[in-house]
Structure 1
Amino acid sequence: MANHKILVIDDSRVIRMRVRDMLPQGNFDVIEAKDGVEGMDAIRSQRPNLIMLDFLLPRMSGWEVFQEIQANPGLQHIPLVLMSGRKEEVTEKITEPFEYFEFIQKPFEQKELIEAIKAAMVKARKPRRAAPGAAATATAAAVPAGSIDPAEFKALQAQVKQLQGELAQMKGQMAKMLAFIKQKLR
């Protein structure tokens, strides 16, 4: 019986087999899933020690699987390696640096795969910050429906004001960059 379960979620049979072949021989049980729905079922039933997740999947995308994993505190501790042929697809949805998972670009070699797995194991151990909406959700649950908690409203107003200031600052920086670029192009 294998000691470690590795779940490979990828719609390409070739990639699933390639990952299986690249893993060091030993106490590994490689579980395969060809789409996001199968992958989530396997995560829930098999409780793998590592998840290799393709970002573009049929039925349920890798992005949706990723969101479900991140939203579940019972699954967040599982090391995760996201795979994609185009990193831009991932960074459109998830900004770098990738704090709690590792990314590997397809095609990859065995050395890159092993390094990504090691990095994912380290990142999975990092303590998680509470979700930004967690405190607000707890407060909202205590406030009757239809009423607004004054403290929460004031906090949201302060956040909006801060974001407006940051946005104005970014617009100013963008205008300076554009002016600089136009000047250099002359």
Structure 2
Amino acid sequence: MSSHKILVIDDSKVIRMHVKDMLPTGNFDVLEAKDGLEGYNLIRSEQPNLIMLDFLLPKMSGWEVYQEIQKEYHFKSIPLVMMSGRKEEVVEKIPEPFEYFAFIEKPFDQNQLVEAIKEAMTKAKKHTKPYAMAAYSTPESDYDDSSSELQILKAKVTQLETEMAQMKKQMSQLVAFIKKKLM
């Protein structure tokens, strides 16, 4: 049995089989889920190496699965390919450009699938563990230390506030420049 797992979450058995048939041959197992809830439970229990997630699913939508994945570091670092035949519905919830996952529009061919997987693997690396969290955590607390996550979020807020202050300053300089030119 392989230690590499690919989870395909789609309510269409045809799509699940199609994806499975198009995947390059390799040393991995393909797990299948027919709805979002089953898929999310498999993510939690199997910790796959790649997730292929349909956006429109019964029981728990792909959007809801995505939101749950984003709450935990060890899940959001799993490469994710979002699939949908209706890109506009995905963009409505998650604006482009998609920062942390690859998107593939149905129907797709094998080349498009392989490219989306490569893109997902690259984007998953954006979820690197911040230095402060890595320096003070143990393997047991890596994924459940909410105080570390809170510290990271506070640091991000501080960074965003600093950037906003800089932008406000630049905007006032621009307005002053424009007023000066108009006079």
TM (norm. structure 2) is 0.71
CA shift, 1:37, in A, is 0.5
Q: Distance in 2 between matches of 1:74 and 1:82?
A: 18
CA shift, 1:3, in A, is 3.3
Q: Distance in 1 between matches of 2:24 and 2:83?
A: 19
- What SS does the aligned partner of 1:74 have? helix
Aligned to 1:135: 154
Of the structure 1 ranges 67-76 and 80-89, higher mean CA displacement relative to structure 2 is found in: 67-76
Q: Distance in 2 between matches of 1:111 and 1:3?
A: 25
Aligned to 1:73: 73
Deviation beyond 2 Å, 4+ runs, structure 1: 127-131, 133-136
Do residues 4 (structure 1) and 23 (structure 2) align? no
Q: Distance in 1 between matches of 2:3 and 2:20?
A: 15
Residue deviations 1:109-157, cap 9 Å, x none? Answer: 00000000011001001146878x9329xxxxxxxxxxxxxxx9xx7xx
Q: Distance in 1 between matches of 2:100 and 2:90?
A: 14
Aligned to 2:146: none
TM (norm. structure 1) is 0.70
Q: Distance in 2 between matches of 1:120 and 1:91?
A: 17
Aligned to 2:15: 15
Contact 2:76 2:127 survives alignment (8 Å): no
Q: Distance in 2 between matches of 1:122 and 1:28?
A: 19
Q: What stretches of structure 2 of length at least 5 have no aligned partner?
A: 131-148, 172-183
Larger radius of gyration: 1
Q: Distance in 2 between matches of 1:89 and 1:66?
A: 14
Aligned to 1:59: 59
Q: Distance in 2 between matches of 1:72 and 1:127?
A: 11
Residue deviations 1:59-99, cap 9 Å, x none? Answer: 00000000000111121110000000011010000011111
Q: Distance in 2 between matches of 1:79 and 1:127?
A: 10
Q: How does 1:90-169 map to 2 (within 5 A)?
A: 90-127=90-127, 134-135=153-154
Letter of the aligned partner of 2:113 in structure 1?
L
CA shift, 1:2, in A, is 1.6
Aligned to 1:34: 34
Q: CA RMSD in A?
A: 3.0
Q: What stretches of structure 1 of length at least 5 have no aligned partner?
A: 137-151, 166-186
Contact 2:73 2:127 survives alignment (8 Å): no
Q: Distance in 2 between matches of 1:26 and 1:91?
A: 32
- What SS does the aligned partner of 1:75 have? helix
Percent identity (aligned): 66
